[in-house]
Structures are given as structure tokens and as C-alpha cells.
Structure 1
Amino acid sequence: MRSTIPVTSGDFAVMGLGGGEFLGLFFLFLVLGGFVFWLWMLIDCLMNERDSAQKLVWVIVIIFVSLIGAPLYFFLRKLGRKRSSRRLRDYPMPRSRR
């Protein structure tokens, strides 16, 4: 008598994960990663923005336009601060003449 072994498609059957379970875990990690990134940008904005008016605008953008607001803040402000501080650091300060 032949024994029948259930055959599942996909490489994740070896790990005990079918396609649906793997996609569920993938989306769970994707959502958690997005939330951590959003929270990181919100905290960075609250701690590093010096101008209170710009801080308020960026907090509103990050909170209410979360899918676009956090990446916008990251690329426009956070990376912009790094580039400007790097530019200032590359040039030596002029010496005063006495």
C-alpha cells in the first residue's frame, strides 16, 4: 500500500511555514519596523529641532501623514543636518590676526 505524504508548495514548508503564515510574519515585521522608524523620527524631531515653529510643523507632519511624514523628515531634515555639519567640519576655522 502506498502512503500518501501531503505535498505543499513553496520552500517554507520545510520550516513548517506555509505561504500564508510566512506572509503574515513578513507583514507583521514590516509593520513593526515601520512603527519603530516612525517613533524614531518623532523622537529625533522633538529632541533635535531647535526652532519651535519648525518643530511643531514637523511633529504635525510626522503624526498626521505618518506613511510619508517620517521618511520626508528623515531625508529632508535628518540627513540634511548630517550633510551641513560635515560641510562645516571639513573647512578649518580661519585664524584671527593679532
Structure 2
Amino acid sequence: MIITEKQIIETLAMKVMGWQPGIDFELRLGLILRNWGTEEWNPLQNIADAWMLVEKFKEQDRFVEISVNDEGYFVMVDSDDQWFEGETIAKAISKS
């Protein structure tokens, strides 16, 4: 099964951010979350949106480690020794 970018964004919105679908929760090419004051929320492409995930992890008292080297960006959550890599920091955060 191939997971689309839209499905990843929807999952992050609901499972990490705690947002629930409703009248103002519309899925199109990206995810539009009007009831949260943002026109297009896409943590895979936008570092500000990705950082919202990091802030949510902080609220949940979860450990987040970010590493950068010449091979790319890496993020680990909760010291589980599983690093998530991305070609951008936003994608690495979103994968974690």
C-alpha cells in the first residue's frame, strides 16, 4: 500500500496534533485546517508547521533529538534509537 503525502499530513494532524475532522476540516491536494487559523498546514514542506509537531512533543514531555550532518537531517523521538531521515528538516520531523 502506497501512503500519499495527504494521508501522512492527515495522520499527523489527527494523531500528533490531536485535531479532529469536522465541518472545517477539508482534504484537497493538501490539508486545509481553517478552524485552526491556517490556510494550508503541511509539515512535510513547511518548517513552521513541522516545528508545531516538535512543540506538541514537548507538551507531551517527549524527548526529541535533532541531528544534522553532510548526509542529511535526522530526528529521534523518545530515545528509541530509531532515527528518521529526511532530505529537509521538515520531512525528518514529520517522519518521526
Identify whether the pair has TM-score above 0.5, normalized to the shorter chain. no
> Which structure has the higher relative contact order (CA within 8 Å, separation 6+)?
2
Greater helix proportion: 1
Normalised by the length of structure 1, the TM-score is: 0.30
**Higher Cα radius of gyration:** 1
Normalised by the length of structure 2, the TM-score is: 0.30
